[in-house]
Amino acid sequence: MAYIFDEPSRTFNEYLLVPGYSSKECRVDNVSLKTPVVKFRKGEESAIKMNIPLVSAIMQAVSGDRLAIALAKEGGISFIFGSQSIESQSEMVRKVKSHKAGFVTSDANIRPDQTLRELLDLKERTGHSTTAVTEDGTAEGKMVGLVTSRDYRISRMSLDEKVCNFMTPFEKLIYAEEGVTLSEANDILWDNKLNALPIIGKNQRLAYFVFRKDYDTHKAYPDELLDGHKRYMVGAGVNTRDYRERIPALVEAGADVLCIDSSEGFTEWQKMTLDFVREKYGDSVKIGAGNVVDKEGFNYLADAGADFVKVGIGGGSICITREQKGIGRGQASAVIEVAKARDDYFRRTGVYVPICSDGGIVYDYHMTLALAMGADFIMLGRYFSRFDESPTAKLTINGSYVKEYWGEGSNRARNWQRYDMGGDSKLSFEEGVDSYVPYAGPLSDNVRQSLQKVKSTMCNCGLLTIPDLQKNAKLTVVSATSIVEGGAHDVILRDTSGNSNR
């Protein structure tokens, strides 16, 4: 007879956290949301950790390079969507890796033998009062000096005066060497009361400037997620079809972590993809696998060498897999069972394989629940699609701003590899819908507010880290009637829309 689970399949909405004792240490600013992304051995640390437990979904409507940069600034990772050509996906990865916040390539440059007249022309054209003097007048030439408006007086000087006669020569400049962090550069700016700090590479070549006026924007990202070369971290989705070509291209472009993107990942195809990575790169390339919803699926992928395992089938807001095919599991039940399997696996093997809860987050408190149920991090699609930085159009519908959001299994995305079960069969039906979501503004404001709520809840529970929350949270199933009790009830709500007189 078929196996029938004793428990019904439950969703996040069916749970609440029960507060625990909070000492006076339980303050929001004492909470750490740091979390491991890839597997590690007992006593060691994960090679990739995030400062916040959020990653953006491997979807055309969500994870382009702009959102990836915005999320890395907040401390999370985007997985650039794989349902595009290998070239364009690699280009997006490259854009994230080459983005250097706060390090500006100089666009006002002059040669030392040029004149004050030419300098004034340049200033007029660029609007910049700081000009780099380089041997060949280019942005990456050998730097020989710097000119600011303090170096010349038009009324007292000939317009034919050569730049080399009034510039501040390189020997007298304060500069920093390439590799300096933004905060170190800012300290040098402030300590020396400078407006601009040249960053110098090999052979005295100008690399960038860091400007004092940009300071306020930089200091606003205390959690930004950087690699060993101070570049933003980024992930990328791959499939079980063209991985032999796609993976090397993404690795070459600088992707920090990959993830096999499949709606149902308890398959031999996933093992073949993982085998390819291990044979070609050993452990140096990090790759997650999924999606699964039970312990057998987790154990299979963990044994196959996945660096993390993604959990969730059919819970995505745009997903109609459960309706179309009758497969899936309530997201809460799936996370709870897989988290237990991960802990058992850790006890058995000494290897901790992080799990990612993918899809189905509707309210901010669902994030806290997912973590408390055992997720190490959370993948979100709808949530991120609402922000300025998502790659889709912002439209007005009935007077309200919305953004477009469509599933990878919809006709619009045509990401059939994600739903592919091998062979030559191409799916002939959709597993996702095309939709709108309410526009919500910049990523930064929203993510900070959501995580402020997560931290606040953790304080109520008296738990200050994610491992602590996973181990010691108390969760209760809620009855249908207690859900009613949780909203505003038995009151007549006042109309605060300003339309009450109509």
Active site members = 319, 418
Q: Whose Cβ is closer to ligand RVP: residue 224's or residue 431's?
A: 431
Distance CA 257, CA 39 (A): 12
Q: In the chain, what is the straight-line distance between the N-terminal and C-terminal CA atoms, in Å?
A: 63
Options 60, 186, 410, 470; binder of ligand RVP; rule CB under 6 A: 410
Q: Does residue 235 interact with ligand RVP by CB under 6 A?
A: no
Distance CA 95, CA 391 (A): 14
Do 17 and 475 touch, CB atoms closer than 8 A?
yes
Q: Does residue 214 interact with ligand RVP by CB under 6 A?
A: no
Pairing between β-strand 49-50 and β-strand 35-36 as defined by DSSP bridges: antiparallel
Tokens of 247: 């993976």
Alpha-helical regions (H) of 32-76: 65-74
> CA neighbours within 13 Å on the CB side: how many for 273?
31
Kindly state the smallest distance separating residue 416's Cβ from ligand RVP, in Å. Answer: 11
Q: Does residue 82 interact with ligand RVP by CB under 6 A?
A: no
Tokens of 418: 């994600």
With contacts defined by CB under 6 A, name the span among 90-98, 149-157, 189-197, 406-414 that binds ligand RVP: 406-414
Kindly state the smallest distance separating residue 317's Cβ from ligand RVP, in Å. Answer: 4
Q: Whose Cβ is closer to ligand RVP: residue 252's or residue 323's?
A: 323
Q: Does residue 265 interact with ligand RVP by CB under 6 A?
A: no
Q: Does residue 321 interact with ligand RVP by CB under 6 A?
A: yes
Tell whether residue 294 is among the known ligand binding residues.
no
Kindly state the smallest distance separating residue 37's Cβ from ligand RVP, in Å. Answer: 16
Distance CA 402, CA 436 (A): 6
Q: Whose Cβ is closer to ligand RVP: residue 37's or residue 57's?
A: 57
Do 55 and 377 touch, CB atoms closer than 8 A?
yes
Query: Per-residue DSSP letters for 328-363?
Result: ---HHHHHHHHHHHHHHHHHHHSEE--EEEES---S
Distance CA 227, CA 475 (A): 36
Query: Per-residue DSSP letters for 276-287?
Result: HHHHHHTTSS-E
Tell whether residue 319 is among the known ligand binding residues.
yes
Other CB atoms within a 10 A radius of the CB of residue 277 amount to: 23
Tell whether residue 261 is among the known ligand binding residues.
yes
Q: Which residue is nearest to ligand RVP (CB)?
A: 432
Nearest to residue 131, comparing CAs of 204, 139, 165, 205?
Answer: 139
Options 432, 443, 463, 466; binder of ligand RVP; rule CB under 6 A: 432
Pairing between β-strand 206-211 and β-strand 196-200 as defined by DSSP bridges: antiparallel
Options 145, 198, 330, 409; binder of ligand RVP; rule CB under 6 A: 409
Phi, psi of 395 (to 5 degrees): -125, 165
Tell whether residue 388 is among the known ligand binding residues.
no
Q: Whose Cβ is closer to ligand RVP: residue 200's or residue 301's?
A: 301
Q: Does residue 404 interact with ligand RVP by CB under 6 A?
A: no
Tokens of 14: 């069916």
Q: Does residue 237 interact with ligand RVP by CB under 6 A?
A: no
Looking at residue 70, what DSSP letter applies? H
- Hey, is 237 helix, strand or coil? strand
- Hey, is 232 helix, strand or coil? strand
Options 64, 330, 381, 391; binder of ligand RVP; rule CB under 6 A: 381
Q: Does residue 431 interact with ligand RVP by CB under 6 A?
A: yes
Count of residues interacting with ligand RVP (CB under 6 A): 23
Kindly state the smallest distance separating residue 363's Cβ from ligand RVP, in Å. Answer: 12
Tell whether residue 187 is among the known ligand binding residues.
no
Q: Whose Cβ is closer to ligand RVP: residue 46's or residue 385's?
A: 385
Kindly state the smallest distance separating residue 386's Cβ from ligand RVP, in Å. Answer: 10
Find the angle CA(264)-CA(47)-CA(207) to the nearest 5 degrees.
110
Kindly state the smallest distance separating residue 423's Cβ from ligand RVP, in Å. Answer: 21
Q: Whose Cβ is closer to ligand RVP: residue 53's or residue 312's?
A: 312
Tokens of 17: 């956290």
Tell whether residue 378 is among the known ligand binding residues.
no
Kindly state the smallest distance separating residue 432's Cβ from ligand RVP, in Å. Answer: 2
Q: Does residue 370 interact with ligand RVP by CB under 6 A?
A: no
Q: Tokens 């709870």 — which residue?
A: 336
Distance CA 469, CA 484 (A): 27
Strands (DSSP E) contained in 340-466 are 351-352, 355-358, 377-380, 394-397, 400-406, 434-438
Residues 346-365 that bind ligand RVP (CB under 6 A): 358-361
Tell whether residue 290 is among the known ligand binding residues.
no
Q: Does residue 102 interact with ligand RVP by CB under 6 A?
A: no
Q: Whose Cβ is closer to ligand RVP: residue 106's or residue 317's?
A: 317
Tell whether residue 313 is among the known ligand binding residues.
yes
Kindly state the smallest distance separating residue 239's Cβ from ligand RVP, in Å. Answer: 13
Q: Does residue 403 interact with ligand RVP by CB under 6 A?
A: no
Q: Does residue 288 interact with ligand RVP by CB under 6 A?
A: no
Residues annotated in a binding site: 261-263, 312-314, 316, 319
Residues in the site for ligand RVP, rule: CB under 6 A? 57, 59, 312, 316-319, 321, 358-361, 379-383, 407-410, 431-432
